[in-house]
Amino acid sequence: KDSQNENENKNDDLATYGFLGYPVLQAADIIIYRSHLVPIGVDQLPHVELTREITRRFNYLYGDTFPVPKPILTEVPKLMGLDGRKMSKSYNNAIYLADDEETIRKKVSQMVTDIQRARRKDPGDPEVCNLFPLHPLYSSAEEVERIKRECPRAEIGCVECKKILMKNLLAKLAPVQEKRRYYEDHPSLLQEIIENGNSRARGIASATMEQVREHMKI
């Protein structure tokens, strides 16, 4: 079992099938739509690997039915939250796409960085900094290289580093937030997109289940 999930869920009730069977439900969500590639965070790798095992076992028992899905990881497969833990809504440590500029600036300014860097004149280490992984996503290559070069020499401080991220993060989120506001102002269009997506998904799932029943002879 994934050790991270084990630690995070150690207080959950393991006696219920709803909890124990959840990984199988996740696997079904993937294979019923015949997914070949699954975009995930690095913490979800164990779930995709379980899905691959289930898929291979099913195909072995009942014939070639499902494609064996492969995970896709981004350049930065895991982003930490404002407090250094996994970014999560349940931890209340996330930056949301709907956050306004003032909220984003406040959150970034409060982010944990290199906990070993107590003073501005102390050298930092981008490799262990909680903030730095956001830079390759939002900052230019030149800015990333500058931070990697100057932070270990204490030539740039955490405050300046955060200001660089704020500027780039706000610029990248602006068109996303604009489109979000557009759909909020056009709920019927949003509903149409959802209904079309649901219809397509139901069609794929129905065809998959027909094939499953045929292969299992049920």
What pTM did the predictor assign? 0.75
70-72 vs 37-39, strand pairing mode:
parallel
Would you say 10 and 37 are in contact if contact means Cβ atoms under 8 Å apart? no
**Residues sharing a CB contact under 8 Å with residue 56, sequence separation 6 or more, in sequence order:** 68
Q: Evaluate if residue 196 carries a pLDDT over 80.
A: yes
Provide the pLDDT for residue 13: 61
Provide the pLDDT for residue 4: 46
Q: Quick one: which of 52, 36, 163, 145 has its CA closest to 109?
A: 163
Task: Give per-residue pLDDT as tens, 87-97.
Answer: 888 899 999 99
CA distance 98 to 100: 6
Could you give all domains of the chain from N- to C-terminal order, each with its CATH number? 3-77 (no CATH), 101-187 (1.10.240.10)
Task: Give per-residue pLDDT as tens, 135-154.
Answer: 999 999 999 999 999 999 99
**Residues sharing a CB contact under 8 Å with residue 30, sequence separation 6 or more, in sequence order:** 38, 48, 51, 69
Would you say 145 and 112 are in contact if contact means Cβ atoms under 8 Å apart? no
Supply 150's token pair: 């100057």
CA distance 48 to 46: 6
Q: Evaluate if residue 78 carries a pLDDT over 90.
A: no
